[in-house]
Amino acid sequence: MRNIIMVWLLVVLGACSSSSAPEVRVEGKTTTDGHQYTLFHPQGLAVRVMTTRPDVADGRYQLSVAAAYTDLDTGQPLDLLVSSGRVRQTRAKVGFLDGVLTLVGDSLSIARIPMGQAPARAELERVRRHQGTLMLQELLVFEGRNLRTEGGAVFQRRALMELAGHRLVVVESTSDELTMQHFADDLVELGARQALYLDMGGWDEGWYKTGSQVVKLGHRRTDTARQSNWLVFVKRD
């Protein structure tokens, strides 16, 4: 009888521990150059690219950040080629994007293409047929190698990073003084196999949830009202 009670207590304690585990595990890391980063590890969440603003009050949404760039003339996402099975455009509009995020069901991949080009029409059709999403962005790291050149502006930086074992992490710098090259160098040090940039500058508004608390991300947030698309991590049905 005593053994049965002990087993029951262990099961209850295990269930309580599991239920209290965060949906987004937050980790701080510092690189050898002294740059500080916050890593957001989704725990069993599905990933989506959305073109309607996720409702922070909706319990399904646990982590939200900007994804593709926004066209300043139209207010629409730039080079979000296929969105939830709908082909928005068949050709790339921006000449410097060399990364492809493909999302079909729960399968997400980050690939490389020549700058200014789009994946083949057959790939766009495959993603459309499976009600998937395909967007272009700047590729920072590919197969563990920094792709960015020297120079350029300095900003706070954020990326979707793929670690070994296809583990996805959103990583954000604490500094506002990073070039793309320095950022990509640090991502390699942090273990990135692939890393895709996420829109920042005035479009840097984001948030994650810890229990009932909503924690805002980004330093500027000046263009939050004009954000057109979001990378969102969602509780599974």
**Domain residue limits, the chain:** 22-234
Q: pTM higher than 0.85 for the full model?
A: yes
The whole-number pLDDT of residue 48 equals 97
3-state helix, strand, coil in the chain (%, to 5): 20, 40, 40
Which pair of structure tokens corresponds to residue 195? 């890393």
Share above pLDDT 90 across residues of the chain, in percent, rounded to a whole number: 90
End-to-end CA distance of the chain: 38
pLDDT tens-digit profile of 164-187? 999 999 999 999 999 999 999 999
> Look-up: residue for tokens 């965060």?
22
Task: Report the alpha-carbon angle 72-73-75, nearest 5.
Answer: 65
Question: How does residue 20 score in pLDDT terms, banded at 50, 70 and 90?
Answer: low
User: Average model confidence (pLDDT) for the chain?
Assistant: 92
CB 198 within 8 A of CB 65: yes
Q: 148-156 long-range CB contacts below 8 Å, 24 or more apart?
A: 148/179, 148/180, 148/181, 148/183, 148/184, 149/181, 150/179, 150/181, 151/179, 151/181, 152/179, 152/180, 152/181, 153/179, 154/178, 154/179, 155/200, 155/201, 156/200, 156/204, 156/218, 156/219, 156/220
The whole-number pLDDT of residue 116 equals 87
Instruction: Identify the sign of the CA torsion 73, 79, 84, 87.
Output: positive
Question: How does residue 4 score in pLDDT terms, banded at 50, 70 and 90?
Answer: very low
The whole-number pLDDT of residue 237 equals 84
Question: How does residue 196 score in pLDDT terms, banded at 50, 70 and 90?
Answer: very high
Q: Choose the weakest-confidence range: 11-25, 38-52, 63-77, 158-172.
A: 11-25
C-alpha distances out from residue 163 to 14, 141, 191, 192, Å: 28, 11, 6, 5
The whole-number pLDDT of residue 193 equals 98
Q: What is the b/e burial string over 21-54, where b = at least 16 CB atoms within 10 angstroms of the residue's CB? A: eebbeeeeeebeeebebbbbbbeebbbbbbbeeb
Q: Choose the weakest-confidence range: 3-17, 21-35, 203-217.
A: 3-17
